Amino acid sequence: MRRIFVTGISTEVGKTMASAVLVEAMQADYWKPVQAGDLDHTDSDKVRELISNSRSVIHPSAYALNTPMSPHAAAEIDGVQIELKHIVPPDTENHLIIEGAGGLLVPLNDTDTILDLIKPTYKVVVVSRHYLGSINHTLLTLDKLIDKGIRPYLLYSGDPNPSTETILERRTRVPVLGRMDEQAVFTSSTVKRLAAVLRPSLQGHGLL
Q: Which residues pair with 3 in a beta bridge?
A: 96
Cα–Cα distance, 163 to 28 (Å, whole number): 34
3-state DSSP call for residue 143?
Answer: helix
Which H/E stretch holds residue 189?
helix 188-204
Q: Name the active-site residue from 32, 46, 85, 119.
A: 32
Which H/E stretch holds residue 3?
strand 3-8
Examine the residue annotation and report whether 123 is marked as an active-site residue of this protein: no
Judge contact between 98 and 23, C-beta under 8 A: no
For residue 48, which phi and psi values (nearest 5 degrees)? -60, -40
Catalytic residues: 32
